[in-house]
Structure 1
Amino acid sequence: MKRTFTALLVTSTLLISPLTHAETAELQALIAAAQQENPLTVYASTGKIVQQAKAFSEKYGLKATGVKADAPQIIEIISREAQAKNVRADVAIVEDTPAAITQLLSKGYVQSWVPDDLKGHIAARYQNPLTVVLAPNVFAYNTTRHTTCPVTNIWQLTQPEWRGKVAMQDPTGKPAYTDWFSQMETHYDQQIRDAYQQQFGKPLQTNEKSATAAFVKALAGNGVLLTHSDNDAASAIGAPDGNADFVGLVSTAKFRDNQQGMKLGLCNGLKPFIGWNYPSLGVIATGSHSPNAAKLFIHYLLSAEGIEPQSVDGKMSTNQTVSLPANEASGIEKYRAELMEYLTDTAKEDWKSRQDWQDIWSLSYKK
C-alpha cells in the first residue's frame, strides 16, 4: 500500500510540474520516510485545516490531525512544548507573521523549510521564512447601492461625505491592521503621498512623520464604524436591505456570503491599492517526532490540491503555478496585482510598532 501512495504522488506531481529525476527520487524518499513516522498534528487558525489534514492522510496513507486555534494560542502551545522539551505539535500555519518570527523562529522553537522542487516557483521574498498562503483583505462596497465602487482613492474615505460610512475591524484588537499601517509607512509611503496629490491636486502638507500616519489619523477621525469581527464588517457593507451606505475592509472569504444574499463588491481600481495580502507562515516544530511527515505536509499545502479548501476563500498560494479556482467568489484573481504586498523582511519592525500604531489610532479616533 505504501508503494501505491508513492506512485500516485509522483504521477500527480508530474502532471502539474515535471520534476527532474533527482527531485522525483527526493520526493519518493520523503514519502517513504514519512510513512514510517508517528501521527502528525497540525495547527492553523482556519477550520479548513481539519479538512486539509484529513485529505493529506488519505492521499499518503498517513495519520494527520488538524487543529483549529488562533495565532496567540498556537504560539503559546508551541512555546510551552519547546520549553518543556515535550514537543507534540509538528506543523503550524501561523497567520500572525511578526509574532511567529519574533516569538517562535527567533527563539529556535520552529524551523522554516522550503521544498527543493518548489523553490523555483516561490518568489524569494516568501522563502525566508516560508510563507505558505496569502490572505487578501480588500475594500468592498454594496452592489445593490452602486454599480461600481463609489470611491476611487483611499483618501476619499477621510472626507466628510464618507464620515461614519467606513466599516472595518478595530485596529486596536486586530494586529493585521496595525501591521498594514506599518508596512504602508515602511514600503509604500510614497504611494500614499502620491494618492493624496492625485485626489486633491496638491502635495500633502503634514506635520506627521509620514503620509501613512497622516492617512491613518484622518481615517480614524472620520467616524469609522469599528466592528469586532469580519462578519460584522461584511454585514454592514453588504447587507441586501441595509439603509446605510458603507465601504470598508473585509477578507475575500466574506464574498462567499453573496450566495446567501449578501451584496459585496470588490473595489478594483482603488488607488493606490485595493487592499493588502497578509501572509501566513508554514513552520515545523523543532524536535518534531515526525520531521519527514511535517515536510511532506508543507509540500502538500503548497500544491493546488492541498491549498484548495482555502483558495476557494480567495487565499493565495505562494506557489506561482497555483491559481485561484474559478468559483472563488470575490474575483480577486483578476486583480491580485492591485493588492499591496506584505514584505516579511521588516516583520520585526511591524511587531515593535504595533503599540505605537494602536496609540495613533486610539488618540485620533472620533465617532
Structure 2
Amino acid sequence: MSSSTPRIGSTQRTAPRIALAALVAFLAGATACAPSSRQGDDAPARAGATASAVIDDPAEFDLDELVSAAKKEGSLTVYDSSGDITKVAQAFTTKYGIKTTGVKNKVGDTLEKMTREAQAGNVTIDMTLYEDGPSLVGELLPQKVVRTWIPADLADQLPAANRSPLLVLSKANVWVYNPKLFPKGCPVDNIWDLVGPEWKGKVALQDPLGKPNIIEWFNQLVNGADQALRDAHDAAHPGEELKTSQETAAQEWVVRLAKNSPVLTAADDDVAAAVASPNQTQPRIGLVSNAKFRDVKDKNYSMRVCDTLKPWSGYLYPKYGAIATKTTHPNAAKLFTHFILTEEGITHELGAGGIPASTKVKQGSFTPPGLTDWKKELFSFDPKYLAKDFADTEAMQDLWRISHS
C-alpha cells in the first residue's frame, strides 16, 4: 500500500475465500434455475435448491403451535451486523416471553463463528440476520451450517426474488457530501467524476477488503451494470471513448478508484466524520450506510446524499435471515423469523430507513436528506448473481488490492 494513501483508523481485512470448481458449478446451477420452494421442513438439501428457503405446507402450519413449541425451548441468540438487533430481541422477548439476546457482530466474524460451531456441534448462535449474500450462498448454506425458512402464512407476501435465500430487509450505502462546504449541492454529478484527478485523495469509504458488501457491489456492477456505466462515462466525457485495460467498465472504474488514493477507514463512523464533522474543512465525498444519518443531530454533522450523482446515488444491499442447522432452539428461531418479517418486528431495524422484504410492510419512514426514491436512485443487487459473486470474490479483492498498492 502506498505510504501516500490517506487512511483513517485501522482496517480488518477479510480472508480470501477459496471455492472449489465443483462447488462453483453447483452454486451456479442453484441460482440459474430456482426450484419449487415447497418441501418438508427437514428435507435434505438438493442440488439446485441450496439457496432456496424452505416453506412448510400451508395446511400444516399453525402459528399458535409454533409459539407454544418455541416457548418450551427457553431462549434464543441472534447475531446481526447492526446494533438494532438488541431492540428487535427486546421486542421479541416482550411479545413472547422468550429470553432473546441480540448481538452486534461483524459479518465475517459471524461467518467464522457459525462455521466453527457447526463443525464442533456446539451451537450458541441460533440464527443470524446476515449481510453477505455470496458467503451465505457459497459457504454457509451448501455446508449446511445454516438453512433458510419462510413461514407459510407470510410466503405470499414475499416476491420470488426475496425467497432465494430469504431476504428480510434492504438497506443502503450512499454517497454523501458536506452541504456547509458545498452549499450549492453535491459537487459531483457523475460516478466517473469520483475517479478523476480533481477528486484524488478526496473520496472516503470503508476499506473494501474489510466490508464484504462493497466487494459484492463491485461484482454486481460487473455482472449487471456494464452498459449503464459506459453510458455514464459517455455522459461525463462526451466524445471521449472509454479506454480500459479491464474486461468491463465496472472493473475499470474499480481500478481507477483504487488508484485515486481514496481515504480508507475501518468503519463508516470514520467516513462520516471525514466528510461531515463540525470542524471539517476538507472537501470530501464519502460512501456510508444510511444508518450514519442518525448521527447527524447528535454529533452536529453536516451531511447530505449526493442526489444528483448519476447513474446512482448509492446502492441497496440485502440482509438475509438464516437459522443455524444444529440449533437446539429451532422453533424459537422460526418464530423469530416470523417476527422479523412482520411490521412489528422489522420496524426496529428501520430507524435509519430501509425497504422490508414483505410487500405488506411499509418502507421505513426515515429518509436521509437528498434520498427521495430509494428504488430509483439506488443500484439494486440481483440475487441471481450471488453464486457468481461468491466465485468472483477473491478475484475482485485481488483486483482492488493490486490496484491500490
Aligned 8 A contact 2:178 2:284 in 1: yes
Q: 5 Å matches for 1:187-336?
A: 187-202=224-239, 203-259=241-297, 260-330=299-369, 332=371, 334-336=373-375
Which of the numbers 136, 141, 152 marks the counterpart of 1:105?
Answer: 141
- Cα distance, 1:309 vs structure 2: 2.4
- Cα distance, 1:30 vs structure 2: 2.1
CA–CA distance in structure 2, aligned partners of residues 331 and 62 of structure 1:
40
Aligned 8 A contact 2:61 2:152 in 1: no
CA–CA distance in structure 2, aligned partners of residues 23 and 234 of structure 1:
50
Q: Which runs of 5+ in 1 are unaligned?
A: 1-21
Which of the numbers 328, 346, 354 marks the counterpart of 2:385?
Answer: 346
Establish whether residue 30 from structure 1 lines up as the match of residue 66 from structure 2. yes
CA–CA distance in structure 2, aligned partners of residues 326 and 57 of structure 1:
24
Shift of the 89–347 alpha-carbon distance from structure 1 to 2, 3 Å rule, reads: same
CA–CA distance in structure 1, aligned partners of residues 212 and 145 of structure 2:
22
Aligned 8 A contact 1:155 1:195 in 2: yes
Establish whether residue 91 from structure 1 lines up as the match of residue 127 from structure 2. yes
Shift of the 87–341 alpha-carbon distance from structure 1 to 2, 3 Å rule, reads: same
Aligned 8 A contact 1:158 1:222 in 2: yes
Q: Which runs of 5+ in 2 are unaligned?
A: 1-57
Residue 161 of structure 1: aligned partner: 198
Higher mean C-alpha displacement, 336-345 vs 263-272:
336-345
Residue 155 of structure 2: aligned partner: 119
Higher mean C-alpha displacement, 319-328 vs 334-343:
319-328
Shift of the 243–208 alpha-carbon distance from structure 1 to 2, 3 Å rule, reads: same
Residue 78 of structure 2: aligned partner: 42
List per-residue Cα deviations over 1:128-175 (Å, max 9, x = no partner): 110112221111111112242221110111222222221111223322
Aligned 8 A contact 1:90 1:285 in 2: yes
Aligned length: 345
TM-score (normalised: structure 1): 0.87
Higher mean C-alpha displacement, 105-114 vs 311-320:
311-320
CA–CA distance in structure 1, aligned partners of residues 231 and 368 of structure 2:
31
Amino acid at match of 2:134: P
TM-score (normalised: structure 2): 0.79
- Cα distance, 1:212 vs structure 2: 0.6
Shift of the 333–27 alpha-carbon distance from structure 1 to 2, 3 Å rule, reads: farther
- Cα distance, 1:329 vs structure 2: 4.3
Aligned 8 A contact 2:371 2:377 in 1: no
CA–CA distance in structure 2, aligned partners of residues 39 and 250 of structure 1:
34
CA–CA distance in structure 2, aligned partners of residues 352 and 119 of structure 1:
30
CA–CA distance in structure 2, aligned partners of residues 23 and 67 of structure 1:
35
Aligned 8 A contact 2:206 2:266 in 1: yes
CA–CA distance in structure 1, aligned partners of residues 68 and 369 of structure 2:
40
Residue 170 of structure 1: aligned partner: 207
Q: 5 Å matches for 1:347-366?
A: 347-365=386-404
CA–CA distance in structure 1, aligned partners of residues 260 and 322 of structure 2:
40
- Cα distance, 1:106 vs structure 2: 0.8
Shift of the 73–157 alpha-carbon distance from structure 1 to 2, 3 Å rule, reads: closer
Aligned 8 A contact 1:23 1:117 in 2: no
Aligned 8 A contact 1:252 1:330 in 2: no
